[in-house]
Structure 1
Amino acid sequence: MGQTQSSTSVASPSSSASTRCPVDHSALAKQHPPDTPSAAASCPVDHASLAKRAQSSSSAASCPVDHASISKSSLATPAQCPIQPDPLDPRNHLPTLTQERAPSQTTDLPTDRTKSSIPRDAAGNWEYPSPQQFYNALVRKGWETPENEIETMVQIHNFLNEKAWEEVHKWEADVNKDEDLQLVRFKGRPGELSPKARFWLFVGWLLPERFNTEPPFDRHDWIVRRPSTGEEVRYVIDYYGAPPLPDGSPVFSLDVRPALDDFGSISMRVRAATREAWAKAAPDATSSHT
């Protein structure tokens, strides 16, 4: 919807078709024998108005739609869905988050925003949403959240993003550890499982006693720029929950890695997997010689 051009052409009927009554009077007469009232009186077509329309020089005049105006409008712009969503910021795929209270809100929430350590561009860093903006975003998505938990949720949200950025730096250190990286844009994709998440869910289904059987509760795609070269690399982040600590504190696990979009990212993944394999094999090799 919104991508197809609507057709404005109308087939012009012939002059005989435009003047002939569309009702079969012979069949109608059979239904109304001569001893009944006039059969023609039972015809549902207004013959007088039909004759007037037939005298018109333009056959399209009988159509109640203004073809000229519809042609101009449909040629000027393609058909579009009449319900348009709020415009999204291409950097984070989010609408402008208001600081106003939600209609059903019962308590005031802070509107102060915290600056992150994550550079957006050469001009400055990203700012995290305020608790009020965070709450408005949840309301917009239809997620019911207790208002007294919003500030804690914002703190967890900010903490996880900072940790994700640290993991990105660890990956990028293989390429250039002194690079001043920038997170130029990102997109939240909750509910969309990455191929790796699907694989581990399958493994968990096969071996539930050894592997996690819960899907990630969130996913982000981050586009990271290397300013020295202008190269942009997509990172995939899967957010997992873990059993809480004995004191009830929540525990989370992040799976951060470059997406397999190009040879450079594939090489990074292969080197990391090789290092992990050697690290696991090294203690075994040492113990075998003692």
Structure 2
Amino acid sequence: MGQTSSQSAPRSAANATPGCPIDHKLPPAASACPVPHDPAPKLAQCPIDHESINSLNQMPNMSQEATSSQSVALPTSRTESSIPRDPASKWEYPSPQQFYNALARKGRETPEELEHVETMVEIHNFLNEQAWQEVVKWEKRAYPDDDIQLARFKGRPGEMSPKARFWLFAGWLMPSRFNTEPPFDRHDWVVRRPKTGEEVRYVIDYYSAPPEPDGSPVFSLDVRPALDSFGSIKERIAAATEDVWAGLQESSKTVDSTRPQGS
């Protein structure tokens, strides 16, 4: 199963900021996930999983007020996602103003960030929509009739998953074959299966990929169930087996097509 998915950013986002939204020319402290993260004592927490949670929508009460040095007004409207929170509502994304306020808390309140913040929000929303589609693909394998919901989530940019560490090590050993860049972000999503009440954790690693020839940014998402339950382990093994079998079948077709007729 395609647990790693490459996605091009929306055309409007690509036109506004060609290439990866992460500025790799900035110092290490500033070159990071386009989604700002607020520091905690030991772990940077995603601002959309902040300690100030609205009990009605389980989202942080991020300020909609403009900063004192802000020279341009930003939209305060929030976009509803396609991701169900419960049977009656869906999750909402932060507004550009809330997003910029989170940047300001990180000390990234600059004219350049202000100019591109709406594009950054668009890319953030796009990536999370694509991640949800990958989660749905996994869930439909074993639970095709259950309308799953995203119960809660957490940004973990300061922690690399074991799989990300493995591929980074592989890139160090064989840089010509494997990616040498770590993921720029990680999220853990807890999905609820309403029919059984079961909750399952998914790990999402976000990677930057080489841009399209026209400069459009491309991202690679590695979405998979966390290996913390027997059911998730079984699904991961089944998906890996299917991928290997599909690869063998494709190789067999290639050999057959190159074999001389009558042999």
Corresponding residue SS for 1:281: helix
Asked if 1:88 is matched to 2:33, the reply is no
Please report the TM-score for the alignment, with normalisation by the length of structure 2.
Answer: 0.74
- Taking the TM superposition and a 5 Å limit, the aligned residue runs for 1:123-272 are 123-144=88-109, 146-272=113-239
Change (3 A) 1:228 1:186: same
Q: Hey, what's the Cα distance between the residues in 1 that align with 2:104 and 2:163?
A: 31
Moved more, 144-153 or 129-138: 144-153
Instruction: Give the corresponding residue for 1:32.
Output: none
User: What code does the residue aligned with 1:143 have?
Assistant: R
Corresponding residue SS for 1:238: strand
Moved more, 257-266 or 130-139: 130-139
User: What code does the residue aligned with 2:220 have?
Assistant: S
Q: Hey, what's the Cα distance between the residues in 1 that align with 2:165 and 2:54?
A: 28
Q: Hey, what's the Cα distance between the residues in 1 that align with 2:203 and 2:224?
A: 6
**Which structure features the higher share of helix residues?**
1
Point out which structure has higher relative CO (alpha carbons under 8 A, 6+ apart).
2
Instruction: Give the corresponding residue for 1:99.
Output: 64
| Equivalent residues of 2:53, 2:60 under 8 A apart | yes
Structure 1 residues 211-257: Cα deviation after superposition (integer angstroms, max 9, x where no partner): 11001001000000000000000000000001111221111010000
| Equivalent residues of 2:54, 2:60 under 8 A apart | no
Structure 1 gap segments, 5+ residues each: 1-85
| Equivalent residues of 2:54, 2:61 under 8 A apart | no
Question: What is the CA RMSD across the aligned residues, in angstroms?
Answer: 1.9
Aligned residues with identical type, % of pairs: 67
Q: CA deviation at 1:150?
A: 0.4
Structure 1 residues 87-132: Cα deviation after superposition (integer angstroms, max 9, x where no partner): 4339999742110002221110001111100000122000111100
Structure 2 gap segments, 5+ residues each: 1-49
Q: Hey, what's the Cα distance between the residues in 2 that align with 1:246 and 1:173?
A: 34
Q: Hey, what's the Cα distance between the residues in 2 that align with 1:266 and 1:239?
A: 21
Q: How many residues align?
A: 205
- Taking the TM superposition and a 5 Å limit, the aligned residue runs for 1:1-16 are none
Q: Hey, what's the Cα distance between the residues in 1 that align with 2:207 and 2:150?
A: 22
Please report the TM-score for the alignment, with normalisation by the length of structure 1.
Answer: 0.67
Corresponding residue SS for 1:249: coil
